Chain A
Amino acid sequence: SQQGEEDPQALSIQEGENATMNCSYKTSINNLQWYRQNSGRGLVHLILIRSNEREKHSGRLRVTLDTSKKSSSLLITASRAADTASYFCATDIGSLIQGAQKLVFGQGTRLTINP
């Protein structure tokens, strides 16, 4: 079963509106990351939040992490047509003692921004 699950599976909003995507996971994590994928392309890293952090900002992105609820959210403010893409959360459940990471991805949210 998937470690991470995004909600909603698809989201369609008007340009300028804010977009919120949620992610839930099952096991303890080292950190949680959000990635973006444009159609037919590789994934691109957006933001990383560590297990001891609660909120992080990067430009128009805001990520929250609630380890007690095992959930995270990604907020994109003032959306643009160019933000249309699929967004994935990924949880790192690897053993840092081994010096390794194991990043497991959710199914993703398909975001469409209508001009």
Chain B
Amino acid sequence: DAGVIQSPRHEVTEMGQEVTLRCKPISGHNSLFWYRQTMMRGLELLIYFNNNVPIDDSGMPEDRFSAKMPNASFSTLKIQPSEPRDSAVYFCASSLVRRTSEKLFFGSGTQLSVL
């Protein structure tokens, strides 16, 4: 299995530009998570999906952030417009949840720098 695949690996953009981060979860997993990691705030849960449906987006910082999961094999996290304070490592993770929750498999992350 290829694991969770994120792209791009690194993204450098200028303030005000739109940024789109992509994630392909592990085949067969039914839950997908977007996290953001910074030195100051640690690892923050932004949003998570179950069976392609957003369950909790209370961690999304503001309206500039949006996430979609059009099908079971693809998700995007979009920031429009981007700001320097959005600079962070963004991780996508997936898991298979049945009657009990299980471990998360993380992608390698996208290092985002907004200048």
Residue A64 at the chain B interface, CB threshold 8 Å: no
Residues 37-69 of A contacting B (Cβ, < 8 Å): 41-45, 48, 50
Q: Total interface residues on A, using CB and 8 Å?
A: 28
Chain B contact residues, CB within 8 Å of chain A: 4, 30-31, 33, 35, 42-43, 45, 48, 50-51, 55-56, 91, 93, 95, 97-109
Please measure, in the bound complex, the distance between the C-alpha atom of A103 and the C-alpha atom of B50, giving whole angstroms: 13
Evaluate contact between A99 and B108: CB separation under 8 angstroms.
Answer: no
Evaluate contact between B99 and A96: CB separation under 8 angstroms.
Answer: yes
Additional 11 contacts, C-beta under 8 A, given A45-B104, A102-B56, A108-B43: A41-B108, A43-B106, A44-B106, A45-B105, A94-B55, A94-B101, A99-B30, A100-B50, A101-B31, A101-B48, A101-B95
Please tell me which one of the listed residues A42, A43, A99 contacts residue B51 in the complex, with CB atoms under 8 A apart: A99
Please measure, in the bound complex, the distance between the C-alpha atom of A108 and the C-alpha atom of B109, giving whole angstroms: 18
Residue A112 at the chain B interface, CB threshold 8 Å: no
Output the least CB separation between A109 and chain B (Å): 12
Output the least CB separation between A75 and chain B (Å): 19
Residue A71 at the chain B interface, CB threshold 8 Å: no
Please measure, in the bound complex, the distance between the C-alpha atom of A105 and the C-alpha atom of B98, giving whole angstroms: 21
